[in-house]
Structure 1
Amino acid sequence: MLEILPETHDNILAVRVRDKLTIPDFDQYRNMVRDLMLKNEETHIYYEMVDVDWINPVATIENGLFDVIHGLDYGRVAMVGEKKWQELSAKLASTVKKHGIRYYDLADKEQAMKYVLEGDNPTPTP
């Protein structure tokens, strides 16, 4: 299941995925990313996985090809997860992204969101 988070705005897409990821989930995600990429120089992504126990293999391949084609259009990308295979998939996908992917454990999701929203050098609040 794909959930769009409230932090989604402008050139930022924030999503949470749970349970099983299907082809329609990936299609919705890719369409949203594609739309943002058409409107913005860089698109920043927050991608959180919670209790994901199955991902459709065809959708994974399609998503990987999309990433290869559009890798330079990505800005800051944070992947948040709770399993070793998720960290490994982030490292693999990181190779085709302009700025790579930063992987965070689920306990550090606030830090991951802050990175996506503000980057490494957030502007100080008055």
Structure 2
Amino acid sequence: MIQFIDTQKENLIAARLSGKLDEENLKTIHERIHRIIDKGHKVDFYFEMDDFEGYTLKGFWEDIKTDAEHIDDYGKIAFVGNKKWQEWAAKATDFFTGCEAKYFETKNKEQAMAWATE
């Protein structure tokens, strides 16, 4: 499930992720990505992973397609969580993409939001 967080930054997609993300969840994010890049901006992300379990198979595939299509359109990605695999996912994202990705523990979510919006 995705619960979007309202922010004042027009090129930031901020959301709380929980459960497993499916194809429809990822299509919703993809639509928001297009709205931002159509305005000529790079897309920044802030994701709080609260009880986040990952993706359904179709959701994972949709995420890969979206990232492949837009990886050059991404700026910063702040991952906020409390599980080791989430930290590794952030490091892999940072390593394999041209964007800046950083992991923050849940207790530091204000710092994560500040980093994503600077």
- Give the TM interval when normalised to the shorter protein: 0.7 to 0.9
> How far did residue 77 of structure 1 move?
1.4
Structure 1: distance between partners of 2:50 and 2:101: 18
Report if aligned partners of 2:23, 2:62 keep a CA contact under 8 Å in 1: no
Alignment CA distance shift 1:8-1:57 (3 Å): farther
Structure 1: distance between partners of 2:89 and 2:64: 10
How many aligned residue pairs are there? 118
| Secondary structure at 1:101 match in 2 | strand
Structure 2: distance between partners of 1:103 and 1:42: 20
Q: Which residue of 2 aligns with 1:39?
A: 39
Report 1:103-118 matches (<5 A).
103-118=103-118
Structure 2: distance between partners of 1:34 and 1:28: 10
Q: Which residue of 1 aligns with 2:49?
A: 49
Q: Deviations over 1:21-62 (max 9, x none)?
A: 222111111221222122133111111110113421221232
- Structure possessing the higher radius of gyration over alpha carbons: 1
Q: What TM-score results when the alignment is normalised by the length of structure 1? A: 0.81
> How far did residue 17 of structure 1 move?
1.0
Q: Which residue of 1 aligns with 2:69?
A: 69
> How far did residue 96 of structure 1 move?
4.3
Q: Calculate percent identity across the aligned residue pairs.
A: 29
> How far did residue 9 of structure 1 move?
3.7
Structure 1: distance between partners of 2:54 and 2:66: 20
Q: Quote the RMSD (CA, aligned, Å).
A: 1.8
Report if aligned partners of 2:77, 2:102 keep a CA contact under 8 Å in 1: yes
Unaligned runs of 5+ in 2: none
Q: What TM-score results when the alignment is normalised by the length of structure 2? A: 0.86
Q: Which residue of 2 aligns with 1:94?
A: 94
> Which range is displaced more, 61-70 or 9-18?
61-70
